Chain A
Amino acid sequence: MVSYILRRLIYMICVLGVTSVVSFIIIQLPPGDYLTSYIVQLESSGTKVSEEQVASLKKRYGLDVPIYLQYFKWIWKMLHGDFGMSFAWNKPVSKLLAERLPLTIMISLFTLIFTYIVAIPIGIYSATHQYSAGDYIFTVFGFAGLAIPNFLLALILMFLFYKYFGISIGGLFSSEYAEAAWSIGKFIDMLKHLPAPIIVIGTAGTAGLIRVMRGCLLDELRKQYVITARAKGVAERKLLFKYPVRVAINPIISTIGWTLPQIVSGGTITAIVLSLPTVGPLLFQALLTQDMYLAGSSVMFLTFLTVIGTFISDLLLVWIDPRIRYEKGA
């Protein structure tokens, strides 16, 4: 088991490394670098920039070395907490992200929990009541949930709430709490705003998971040990929850690996529509203004979120599934 965890840990670190390379590429993508636009800006304001000044500026920003060295320099700075400056906000990127990452993690986490709480019971119901009216209703709901893009659902919800209840469901805090420090009042206010984004982000994932849970459980229910147990007179409820459900939940846990990227991905666009104070809108603004250090770091942290989440789900799987736990001991 230890070797399994160790293997996953090393793998995770490798993935984090590759992620940083991708983020660095994103930062380098737009034509021209920050320095070029800076020099143009200086020249347009009437300042003559000599060759030596350009060279010294290049040296100062570390642009005089080959690209791979620039990458290592960037990593080195990052390990010391320096993610570069956001030129649009005129603030360090680390500070901007620190403000918004906790809320992003929180929303993703709540959505994940919501997804599971809704999907697992519905999946069990659909499987045990196959082809019943309820099963069909949930199937239709599942297909619809998969088909409606997040942003459209967010827009429709906002529209309906505004039209029929006259309230705006955007944002995460009411205006009086937006800038305030954390307090009980602010927390309660936030809880009131949470359901809309969670439902919007969670719908697609929930719909997918219901299908998976239903399919897995149906496969399990057809197996012979279920028939044997039933023949021996085990109570239906006990039989269901003690054996097939436990087995069918395993693939669900291991799908965190793709549920979480889906949630973070959907969360990004939902947050832009609902104007939530998370990383999503920050990334969007950064991309529109070509604020590349901020954009690259945002993508990196969002990916970190999913990679670390997947690692945790692997650990969960070890805890839940004894087959993995004892695999190496034998």
Chain B
Amino acid sequence: MRRGEEISAEEKFYVASQWQLMWRKFVKHKLAIFGGTVLIIFYIIAIFCEFFSTQDIHKRNSRYAFCPPQKIHFFDRDGFHLRPFVYQVRRTLDPVTWKRIYTVDKTERYPIYFFIHGDKYRLWNLFSSDIHLFGVKKGTLFLFGTDNLGRDLFSRTLYAARISLSIGLVGVFLSFVLGCILGGISGYFGGAVDMTIQRIIEFLISIPTIPLWMALSAALPQEWSPIRIYFSIVIILSLVGWCGLARVVRGKLLELREEDFCMAAKIAGASDGKIIMRHLLPSFLSYLIVNLTLSIPWMILGETSLSFLGLGLRPPVVSWGVLLEQAQNFRTVVLHPWLLIPGIFVVITVLAFNFLGDGLRDAADPYK
């Protein structure tokens, strides 16, 4: 009986399709599953950031500039409460230095309610609503503290996720198109075309990216609309990003074009474009996906670095880099360390993409 089960498992292995095998191998990679889960959560939050945020991101709570993060409590003097709450924060001015001092006032507590009516928003500019996942009815709720204008950093971080996470996807899509076309041409035709494209790639790789990006994005006119700046930054990032992908595509093509099925297609009279698109690309799609996953974090880091310097996206657009721009001066960081919180999200996102990519790479070659 046991023997019979073993055989059926083995048979399953032989009759499984390539994608099934990949999936099985991928599921075994714990870190990749973890990374993938984190990313799914992040992207859901980014898509519905209006709902998950607690406040309008442009609302200035001028009385609460640079307010430190408020802690969520379950216990107070009376004991445990099932409903979490925050204590009131009071601002006083130091009479000598005029520094703002925030003290927690334990006499007043504000319970946190779920699905609460708060600031109005338009989800994706389509649906009007004012329901937030959670919030307080009275008082303030600054989970990550506030910035210099008293804007809620928690809500701003969530909104920023939408921009930062999408820039990676859009940028990678652009690199993908460029890389596939140029790498495909390079690998399929060979000869002088291949030579030229390879030299261009070598040149682009030898340029230090950040100085080049800085110079290009600094040249974007100030008066451009945020959307135009956004896409220009994506194009600037993709300018170098396609190189790695083009190399993968080329290398694999050189290997595959010698295969029999390629020759068969040629004899059957298929055009060059059709052979590349229909026969060659699908056979190494898995390698492409791995490469794409690993180049998304690279794009996110690029955008964050540029915006941090004030050369990338500009306010009122919020991305993680734009938020970190406030932390450029380290004296500000010493006084208000919570301004670095958006940076934690950058690190987690990049890590998650790397884990996912690692798992996908192992799964990409299921016959090994």
Partner-B contacts on A (CB < 8 A): 15, 18-19, 22, 26, 29-31, 143-144, 146-152, 155-156, 158-159, 162-163, 170, 257-258, 261-262, 264-266, 268-269, 272-273, 280, 283-284, 287-288, 290, 295-296, 298-299, 302-303, 305-307, 310
* B364, chain A: closest CB distance, angstroms: 15
Within 8 A of A (CB), among B287-301: 297, 301
| Apart from the given pairs A284-B309, A287-B215, 20 other A-B contacts in the complex at a CB distance below 8 Å | A15-B202, A15-B206, A22-B207, A29-B215, A147-B351, A151-B305, A151-B308, A152-B340, A158-B333, A162-B334, A163-B334, A170-B330, A257-B206, A261-B206, A264-B211, A268-B211, A280-B211, A298-B211, A306-B208, A310-B206
Residues of A within 8 A of B334 (CB): 159, 162-163
When chains A and B are docked, how far (Å) is the Cα of A269 from the Cα of B210? Answer: 7
Q: Is B203 interfacial (CB 8 A cutoff)? A: yes
**In the complex, chain A residues whose CB is within 8 Å of the CB of B219:** 26, 29-30
If the complex has contacts A146-B350, A147-B354, A295-B218, are A155 and B340 also in contact, measured as CB distance less than 8 A? yes
CB distance from A151 to the nearest CB of B (A): 6
Write the chain B residue with the least CB distance to A151.
B308
Q: Which of B202, B216, B309, B355 contacts A29 (CB 8 A)?
A: B216
Give the docked Cα–Cα distance between A152 and B337 (Å): 12
CB-based contact B215/A295 at 8 Å: yes
Interface presence of B22 (CB below 8 A): no
Q: Which of A31, A147, A152 contacts B221 (CB 8 A)?
A: A31
Tell me the nearest residue of chain B to A19, going by C-beta: B207
- Verify A284–B214 contact, CB threshold 8 A: yes
Please, how many angstroms separate the alpha-carbon atoms of A268 and B311 in the complex?
14
Asked if B354 and A146 sit within 8 Å, CB to CB, the answer is: yes
A-B residue pairs in contact (CB < 8 Å), sample of 10: A144-B351, A151-B308, A151-B324, A155-B330, A155-B333, A257-B206, A261-B205, A268-B208, A299-B212, A302-B208
- The verdict on B304 contacting chain A, using a C-beta distance below 8 Å, is yes
For A296, the closest partner residue in chain B by CB is B215
Please, how many angstroms separate the alpha-carbon atoms of A273 and B333 in the complex? 12
Which residues of B have CB within 8 Å of A273? 328, 330
Residues of B within 8 A of A162 (CB): 330, 334
Taking residues whose C-beta sits less than 8 angstroms from the other chain, chain B's interface range is 35 or more
Closest beta carbon of chain A to B34's beta carbon, Å: 12
Q: Interface on B for A, CB 8 Å cutoff?
A: 202-203, 205-212, 214-216, 218-219, 221, 297, 301, 304-305, 308-311, 324, 327-328, 330, 333-334, 337, 340, 343, 346-347, 350-351, 354-355
Report A-chain residues with C-beta under 8 Å of the C-beta of B209: 261, 265
- CA separation between A156 and B340, bound complex, in Å? 8
Q: Which residue of B lies closest to A144 (CB)?
A: B351
Residue among B210, B297, B333 with max Cβ neighbours from chain A (10 Å): B210
Q: How far is the CA of A150 from the CA of B306 in the complex (A)?
A: 12
Pick the residue among A149, A155, A170 that contacts B304 (CB under 8 A): A149
With contacts A152-B324, A155-B340 known, is A302 near B301, CB below 8 A? Answer: no
Residues of B contacting A257 in the complex (Cβ-Cβ under 8 angstroms): 205-206
Closest to B346 in A: A149
Q: What's the least CB distance linking B4 to chain A, in Å?
A: 34
Residues of B within 8 A of A264 (CB): 208, 211
Rounded to whole angstroms, the CA-CA distance of A287 and B220 in the bound complex is: 11
**Which of B214, B216, B301, B309 lies at the interface centre, i.e. has the most chain A CB atoms within 10 A of its CB?**
B214
Contacts of A295 in B (CB 8 A): 215, 218
Whether B354 and A26, one on each chain, are in contact in the complex, defined by CB atoms closer than 8 angstroms, is no
List B contacts of A19 (CB < 8 A).
203, 207
Complex contact A265–B211 (CB within 8 A): yes
Q: Which residue of B lies closest to A146 (CB)?
A: B354
A223 to B361: give the CA distance in the assembly, Å: 22
Given contacts A29-B219, A299-B211, A299-B215, contact A306 B206 (CB under 8 A): yes
Q: How distant is the Cα of A295 from the Cα of B217 in the complex, in angstroms? A: 12
Q: Which residues of A contact B210 (CB under 8 A)?
A: 265-266, 268-269
Residues of B within 8 A of A155 (CB): 327, 330, 333, 340, 343
Shortest beta-carbon distance from A56 to chain B in Å = 29
